[in-house]
Chains A and B, each alone.
Chain A
Amino acid sequence: MLKLEARAEPSGAWTYASPLLALGLTVIVGVLMFTALGKDPLRGLEMFFWLPIKSGYPWGELLVKATPLLIIALGLAVCFRSNVWNIGAEGQYIIGAIAATGVALLADGQSSRWLVLAVMLAGVVGGMAWAGITALLRDRFNANEILVSLMLVYVAVQVLSYLVGGPWKDPMGFNFPQSKNFEAVARIPRLFDGSRVSIGVLLATAGVVGLWVFLFRTRTGFSLQVGGLAPAAARYAGFSSRRALWAALLISGGAAGLAGALEVAGPIGQLTPYVPAGYGFAAIIVAYVGRLHPIGMVLSAILMSMFYIGGEMAQSRLGLTKSLTGVFQGLLLFSLLACDTLVNYRLIWRKG
């Protein structure tokens, strides 16, 4: 019989090999799925794993989609490392986008270029406030943060739908439920002409460095993680679990809100019902596949971005649906969790 035997310490090799093995498994299942649908599996895989990195233009697109994923995931890593289960980043992202829109719509032709800072700041504050509700209910009422943060996603979607269909609807918009286009001064500056890549990439990079320093070089970062791993030990050492809860939720909420602001005032440029693209959920996978490590998450954010572009290409070129992206994302997380068993356990064959 196949048995698991606990390793004395986690296997270093498998820590790195497991995400690759998981990716391999995802590809295999993907091939089976394409074959079952009567589509050429090679063409299918090409959409997901080759075209997104082939020519010059999609490279920029890869970064455009990887940026919000990475920013949200960086925040979530703080949460998950401190064992706070914020799975409502999607809602915090939406409210961040809404708050940013609120500021962006104030702009007119004479507004200063610095207004864009206020737009981004509004996004951060919006996301923090939304996550703060979860923190408050967990702290004061002991309400399960998984369910509360998730329920708030549905509430945020309704708030968005109300705003774009009512108060913020563009009067010149042919009755489409969307806000007017933001003034140029309220738009996130682009990094180069002719590419949709914005300065969000720089913020994400700064976030990677910042998170690394915070997690591995500061006392607060250390105490957060101890609180997550060993609450009793943390209490003994005088680290407050309440502070950890608030810090984790506010940081991740702020990050998700910032991502929402960068997206709505960046590539999209107006508030529409299509602002939520599932980045908040995909970022959970980014965080896990990247091992909650800043550098790892850079790689997994790019991978997840490939899945997004692959889904779009499979839709436009193979006539499949974009939802394939979600299928691959789910499969990847599934396989990763299964493969991660090998980090802590050895597979052994024992009779009986």
Chain B
Amino acid sequence: MGNQQFLADKIRTEEYLLNMGPQHPATHGVMRMVLKLDGEEIRDVEPVMGYIHRSIEKMCEHVSYKQAIHLTDRLDYLSSHMNNEAVALLVEKAAGIEVNDRIKVIRTIMAELTRLASHQLWWAVMGMDTGALTTFFYGFRDRELINDIFEETCGSRLTMNYSLIGGVRYDLHENFVKRVKDFIAHFKKKLPEYDNLLSNNVIFRKRTEGIGILTKEQVIDFGMNGPTARASGFACDIRKKLPYSAYDKVDFQEILATEGDAFARYKVRILEMWESMSIIEQLIDNIPEGEHRVKTKAVIKLPEGEFLQRVETARGDLGVYVISDGKKNPYRLKFRSPSFANMHGLNTMSVGTKIADLVVNFSTIDVVVPDIDR
């Protein structure tokens, strides 16, 4: 652009560093981003992580497999059920423990409810980040209903610790089926209202359309996954690629979009909420009978070798990689966290845009900072 070049030559401007510090309303947790700015335009973003690094991987080397499940709750606390399920599935597959259908169906229903709760929180915070402060209350109000369902069966609202090696900790509460069906009926009426509040709002569309575009090649190169990558057309849903638990028995679609901008990422998550509700509806009426726990040995030792288990959390593709030397503690346990992989795309998305766009981009990537730092 001719006159911008003219201004850049004649008027001396300087770049300055701005610290969106660890305590900031827009960074969804304790993460620091050092921005190099020229006026309002971003020239460079450098994320500084590690404020909540608890070294869970090192801790897991000193505890048994059963105890390692307790530590996984706090990785990505909004999908705590899927984290527990990942370690449980890995140990069951490696040690040859068979679980019955009831356990699989229960785990799938809980996983989908967790995904719904996580996406509701994302929607609430996304509205708040763009300035529509009321969405925060609406999203959290309906999330409370799911939390109450969890509290009745699992005993806690956020970090559930419900899946064990060999099953689930408690059997379903007698009210569970009825409450879930009531919730689905209620939320099916609410979700179009909520979606309407933001999607059909001109201001929101202008804030999100065309912002932070990532192409499919960039997404694959950066190793991104989850709804963030599906909005660019990369089909990476582990529930479809490598089905586990009861996902091969239900009929659902993988939501893909092609534009790759912030609005596409928003739309993908809203449509995923509909798919989650459809999965729950297919399963809730025919939960098979059976034991909720399979008998396992008191001390579980995995055979020598290495094992990998991937599950689809609300953020993306969580990979649990265990190197075992036959003892009762894992030799090396690595969590490949989806949020850490999604951070690679932030720099490319943000350079050349404004601070307000960085907030929108960061909100659509939907990271949970303890998942990055482990």
Bound together? no
Residues of A within 8 A of B (CB): none
Residues of B within 8 A of A (CB): none
